[in-house]
Amino acid sequence: MRRTMYRTIRTGSSRRAVTVAAITSTAKRLPASLKAANDACEGGLEVARTRPDFAGNLGEISIGNDQAILIGLGDATPTRTALRTAGGRLVVALHAMGASAARIDVAPHLTGPLKNKPAVAQAIAEGMVLANWRQESWRGTASKGDPATGTLILTSPHGGSRGGLRRGCILADAANEARRLGSTPPNIAHPGWIARQARAMARRLGMQCTVISAAKAKESGMGGLTAVGQGSEHPPCLVHLTWKPKRSSGGPKLAFVGKTITYDTGGYSLKISNGMKGMKYDMCGGAAVMGAMQAIASLKLPIEVHAVLPCAENMVSERAYRPDDIIKMFNGVTVEVTNTDAEGRLVLADALAWTCRKIKPTHIIDIATLTGGVVVALGQWCAGMWSRDASLRKTLQNVGDDAGEQVWRMPLWKEHRDFMRANHADIWNSGPKRDGHPIQGAAFLSYFVEPEIPWAHIDIAGPATTESSTDLYAAGPTGFGARLLAETAATLAVDPD
Ligand code: BES
Ligand code: MN
Ligand code: ZN
């Protein structure tokens, strides 16, 4: 059972804040720059430094008194990832001591390229807010409740750090929103529920939201979304969220497309029982996109961003689609269904083609828990990324490294596209052999994106969830992709190529 955490963490001001400073394992004494801070907390930082079991190793926490905490930085130059981990441990310590506010005074005491950067405060805040998240409790009368309590206020004596703390809270809140959506059980989180969540978010943050109903989707030729969703009592839909900044500069127009399968039984190509458990997480692509939109609107990023979520539940019933069905997609491409469990690419295909035609974006990124094969290939450590655009690839790789949400390039060649050619229609949704099947998914999707639009496909089936708890993530959904996409939007807003 995970420990109780804070109900809210936010930036603000407080006079009773615990001082949080940092020190390397090589420092023999407290740096002179921390003298004033040490005096202000009655020598607590010095007490923390001299505790016999404290070596200043990376992520180590030493509590001086009820007003002072020291974080160890190790002997190497700390990275954003290390600072996030430290933040994760820090929030646990602060909660245990009953702190209601923390003054983060770390950036000036670092060495290396991060010294004095708002990114330091951002990474620590991200770590704190990510580690603080717990799955909403669905416990009933047979268990004792353990509600999260209290608020933690984050402050800093440095203006730049205060900005970093705020940004970190917003980005981690975005990931946590994706986790909330992802962890909501499939008997509640059906396509209509997702649409309601999107509408509520749009209202809350000044975005536009339109929902294309199942009937409209069918009428407009979305054969993929229609087929996948037709077996469920909950009709499919296509959610479209738009963030338009006040001052639109005619810069890039981004589109994010997220696979939102609220439950994936496999359909008639039924998953064996062990493979089905956990398929409520098959909407984590859409959840990441929603989370990113929350951050983009909260930060009021100066870039137009569209989110498109094809939502459907892949079920078995007398109305469900079958292997051997041939369907016509939004862009007129015909698909022979060889496997009803390769459903994600069918709903994404319509959403991608619709996005290209209706939105005409300058960049398009889709994100999906698309294949078990990518988990076999890359594990839970990173997402697979397919893109033929060198500039977009570089942006995603750099942003992913900084965010701790790494992407790794996979191939997409003509040979892979040719492999998807079918006997009875233009293409099939899954080849007769399982060879390279995450690549088959990407190759399939490429038939639905206009070739001149820079496009990336991100398969997050591995990192979208974690089986065991880590410093940052309780077991369950990780919100992987929310920070990656939001930071990508922030990067493209400043530097479109
Ligand atoms: N949602 C699954 C992929 C998945 C599997 C995500 C495990 C997370 C964990 C997807 O719809 C699927 O079923 N993919 C098939 C593709 C195959 C039929 C070509 C798979 O991975 O086996
Ligand atoms: Mn499937
Ligand atoms: Zn799926």
Out of 99, 126, 156, a domain closes at 156
Any idea which ligand is nearest the CA of 429? 1
Residues with active-site annotation:
271, 345
For residue 261 the two structure tokens come to 């399968």
Mutate to test the pocket of ligand 1, among 263, 269, 270, 341 (most ligand atoms within 8 A of CB): 341
CA-closest residue to ligand 1 atom 5: 372
Atom of ligand 1 nearest to the CA of 275: 7
Distance CA 482, CA 472 (A): 15
Q: Are residues 109 and 149 in the same domain?
A: yes
CA-closest residue to ligand 1 atom 7: 372
Q: Are residues 139 and 284 in the same domain?
A: no
Ligand 1 pocket (Cβ < 6 Å) reads 264, 282, 339, 341-344, 369-373, 375, 430, 437, 461
Residue 170 forms part of a structural domain: no
Mutate to test the pocket of ligand 1, among 338, 371, 429, 467 (most ligand atoms within 8 A of CB): 371
User: What CATH code is carried by the domain that includes residue 47?
Assistant: 3.40.220.10
Q: Are residues 229 and 135 in the same domain?
A: no
Q: Are residues 312 and 433 in the same domain?
A: yes
CA-closest residue to ligand 1 atom 16: 342
Q: Are residues 152 and 43 in the same domain?
A: yes
Neighbouring residues of 66: CB distance < 8 A, sequence distance ≥ 6:
18, 44, 97
Distance CA 130, CA 179 (A): 10
Out of 127, 156, 185, a domain closes at 156
Q: Are residues 271 and 366 in the same domain?
A: yes
CA of 346 to the centre of ligand 2 (A): 10
CA-closest residue to ligand 1 atom 13: 341
Atom of ligand 1 nearest to the CA of 465: 8
Q: Are residues 81 and 188 in the same domain?
A: no
Q: What is the pLDDT of residues 364-388, one digit of tens each?
A: 999 999 999 999 999 999 999 999 9
Percent of the chain exceeding pLDDT 70 equals 98
CA of 64 to the centre of ligand 2 (A): 52
DSSP labels for 383-435?
EEEEES-HHHHHHHHHHHHHHT--EEE----HHHHHHTB-SSSSEESS-SS-T
Residue 95 forms part of a structural domain: yes
pLDDT value for 434: 87
Any idea which ligand is nearest the CA of 461? 1
Atom of ligand 1 nearest to the CA of 269: 18
DSSP labels for 137-171?
P---TTS-------EEEEE-SSHHHHHHHHHHHHH
CA of 394 to the centre of ligand 3 (A): 28
Q: Are residues 196 and 298 in the same domain?
A: yes
Atom of ligand 1 nearest to the CA of 314: 11
Residue 42 forms part of a structural domain: yes
Q: Are residues 267 and 217 in the same domain?
A: yes
pLDDT value for 495: 84
CA distances from 367 to 15, 225, 232, 407, 430 (A): 43, 16, 23, 11, 19
What residues are neighbours of ligand 2 (ion), with CB under 5 Å? 264, 341, 343
Domain extent, residue 128, equals 8-156
Q: Provide the residue-wise pLDDT of the chain in tens; the chain has 497 residues.
A: 455 699 999 999 998 999 999 998 988 889 998 999 999 999 999 999 999 999 999 899 999 999 999 999 888 888 999 999 999 999 999 999 999 999 999 988 888 899 889 999 999 999 999 999 998 878 888 887 667 789 999 999 999 999 999 999 999 999 999 999 999 999 999 999 999 999 999 999 999 999 999 999 999 999 999 999 999 999 999 999 999 998 766 799 999 999 999 999 999 999 998 899 999 999 999 999 999 999 999 999 999 999 999 999 999 999 999 999 999 999 999 999 999 999 999 999 999 999 999 999 999 999 999 999 999 999 999 999 999 999 999 999 999 999 999 999 999 999 999 999 999 999 999 999 889 999 999 999 999 999 999 999 999 999 999 999 999 999 999 999 999 999 999 999 998 87
Q: Are residues 113 and 229 in the same domain?
A: no
Out of 123, 156, 189, a domain closes at 156
Atom of ligand 1 nearest to the CA of 271: 13
Q: Are residues 16 and 114 in the same domain?
A: yes
Instruction: Please state the domain count of the chain.
Output: 2
Residue 166 forms part of a structural domain: no
pLDDT value for 210: 98
CA of 380 to the centre of ligand 3 (A): 17
Q: Are residues 222 and 366 in the same domain?
A: yes
CA of 357 to the centre of ligand 3 (A): 25
CA of 414 to the centre of ligand 2 (A): 25
User: What CATH code is carried by the domain that includes residue 413?
Assistant: 3.40.630.10
Alpha carbon distance, N-terminus to C-terminus of the chain: 46
Task: Residue 383: count other Cβ atoms within 10 Å of its Cβ.
Answer: 28
The answer to whether the pTM exceeds 0.75 is yes
DSSP labels for 20-75?
EEEE-TT-SS--GGGHHHHHHTTTHHHHHHH-TT----TT-EEEEETTEEEEE--S
